[in-house]
Amino acid sequence: MNKRDTSGLENLSPFELKDELIKLAGSATNRLMLNAGRGNPNFLATVPRHGFWQLGLFAMIESERSFSYLTAGVGGFPRRAGIEERFDLFAREHRDVPGVQFLAGAVSFVRDQLGLDGGDFLYEMCEGILACNYPVPDRMLRLTEKIVKQYIRREMIGRHPFVGDFDLYAVEGGTAAMTYLFNSMRVNHLLKPGDTIALGMPIFTPYIEIPELAEYHLTELSIDADPAAGWQYAREELDKLRDPKVKAFFLVNPSNPPSVRVSDESLQYITEIVQERPDLIILTDDVYGTFADNFVSLFAMCPQNTILVYSYSKYFGATGWRLGVIATHKTNLLDSKIAELPKDEREGLNKRYASITTAPEKLPFIDRVVADSRTVALNHTAGLSTPQQVQMVLFSLFSLMDTAETYKQTMKRLIRSRKAALYRGMGARMAEVDENVVDYYTLLDVEQMSREVGPEFVTWLLDQVQPHELLFRLAEEAGVVLLPGGGFGTRHPSGRVSLANLNEEDYVKIGRSVRKLRDEYLERYRALGKGKGNGNGNGNGNKSDKPKKT
């Protein structure tokens, strides 16, 4: 066995390291590469996409009603007058075409359930899908925001009491939300170089890497989830947030990569800390919340302190659409903190935003994020492209209209059956059902996978393997690509397996490959005369083999 030197790769982001692993996995001819490294789902929501294309056809018919005397393929803006009646005719004539009945139901839902004008809705959607006008308002189209807000209320807040209202900013996915928010918090002196921010670990790698950049230079404090406690935060970890030097707390919920939602008890405990520390800013990235059972966001629990980031990418299989939103309560801590800045800093900010408003001191933080996203001077051309906003609306309506949650339950069953296949391939038992486990990803921890053999073997193995060695061997010898858990802030060498992007039998093969590699190290260990009588390592029926840590 040739031992590959991976020491020079320790500083690479797991997403950059992935490219090296893919090269290795694809190096053997006539071998199928199994890439479970990236969380791009191989499923997608079809109904709202059918609706999008049929809406586009109707919008084109509307456009071609203008300038029809010209022969050069020129159309005009849709006309508001009579548009609902013309759509009803279109829906009747095309009722057997996939997507049309969904659109007709969406118009009815918007009108009858949300109390919005059906004609205004159709006009906004047609103008939006034609992309014939700038996004106005730039933060989000008027009815689009109202509809998406209903979706966010249902999926992120649920039945939890929520006082007041909130604003949304439509952005190019969760990655744009992160970029814009970090920048605007810096520009508006909410986070300054040297400030301490807490990170709920493990966490999506960019939340670790961005604060370390020279333009931010923030000090990071880890709030570590305990793998032995189902990846929940112990109270003593959360108590770190009581320190007034901690300016903000960033977390991904459900977590990435353990894919576990913060328990109700921990959410309540964080809420109690916030009541004692009303100056604490919270950013919660809840992209995987729609895969969880009975999900409640921290945004619902601490709305005035919390910025919510949500992306449509994973749940609807829409990573290429780049659809996300930022949400802030209309009465929020961010605006209060800006109003309390020293006079010179407030005057500097007033000058910064003076070109877009006559009252810059009253400009809400979320509108500052919009302006900053276009370097202020281009604020008049800010905003997510209107076809993207239209697809966001259709995704939202599809979910809102699915009162039986048929799509949601199907997605949950799909990814959970894949996890079962993975463990079946490893010959390991699944853990008892945990209501907080989401299973979009799972972590294969070296310590957890080897514990049934005995702690001495775990110590020996951790001493033997270089960082990422196991991942490189899996890629080179079996064509299996996993991401290193260490890049997400995990404590022990581990691999993140995405349960979203391969078919069930592929996960059986991955499980077998992982088990084979582990057993090879076990044979080497026993060849040294160690580990005799420490279990047979088959992982079957041993209680300690239950993978609660994954």
pLDDT tens for residues 294-307?
Answer: 899 999 999 999 99
Give CA–CA dist 528/439, Å, rounded. Answer: 38
Residue 337 included in any domain? yes
Give CA–CA dist 304/275, Å, rounded. Answer: 11
Same domain for 210 and 251:
yes
pLDDT at 536: 43
Same domain for 456 and 312:
no
The radius of gyration of the chain's CA atoms, rounded to the nearest angstrom, is 26
Report angle CA 284, 290, 293 to the nearest 5 degrees.
Answer: 105
Give CA–CA dist 48/465, Å, rounded. Answer: 47
Domain boundary residue, one of 64, 92, 127: 127
Same domain for 394 and 410:
no
Same domain for 217 and 77:
no
Supply φ then ψ for residue 197, to 5 degrees.
Answer: -120, 145
Question: Pairing state of beta strands 306-311 and 281-285?
Answer: parallel
Q: E strands of 389-471, at which residues?
A: 441-445
Give CA–CA dist 346/336, Å, rounded. Answer: 12
Residue 370 included in any domain? yes
Contacts of 90 (CB under 8 A, 6+ apart): 58, 61, 100
Same domain for 203 and 105:
no
Domain count, the chain: 3
CATH assignment of the domain containing 109: 1.10.20.110
Q: How far is CA 156 from CA 103, 152, 311, 363, 511, in A?
A: 25, 5, 12, 26, 33
Give CA–CA dist 194/214, Å, rounded. Answer: 11
Residue 535 included in any domain? no
Same domain for 496 and 380:
no
Residue 135 included in any domain? no
Low-confidence ranges of the chain (pLDDT < 70): 1-12, 15, 18, 27-32, 447-451, 467, 486-493, 531-550
pLDDT at 185: 98
Same domain for 481 and 356:
no
Same domain for 417 and 387:
no
Give residue 208's domain range: 141-401
Closest C-alpha among 442, 445, 414 to residue 260: 442
Same domain for 211 and 120:
no
Same domain for 387 and 306:
yes
The structure tokens listed for 336 are 């209060």
Residue 215 included in any domain? yes
Residue 537 included in any domain? no
pLDDT at 33: 75
Domain boundary residue, one of 103, 127, 151: 127
Residue 331 included in any domain? yes
Closest C-alpha among 368, 379, 319 to residue 339: 368
CATH assignment of the domain containing 274: 3.40.640.10
Give CA–CA dist 151/62, Å, rounded. Answer: 28
Domain boundary residue, one of 374, 401, 428: 401
Same domain for 246 and 148:
yes
Give CA–CA dist 179/187, Å, rounded. Answer: 12
How is residue 157 annotated by DSSP?
Answer: I
Q: Please spell the DSSP secondary structure of 235-256, one letter per residue.
A: HHHHGGGGSTTEEEEEEESS-T
If DSSP codes are grouped into helix, strand and coil, which group holds residue 534? coil
Place of tokens 């997400």: 488
Residue 8 included in any domain? no
Closest C-alpha among 119, 127, 48 to residue 85: 119
Same domain for 24 and 66:
no
196 forms beta bridges with: 219, 246
Burial of 218 (0-12, 13-18, 19+ CB in 10 A): buried
CATH assignment of the domain containing 445: 3.90.1150.10
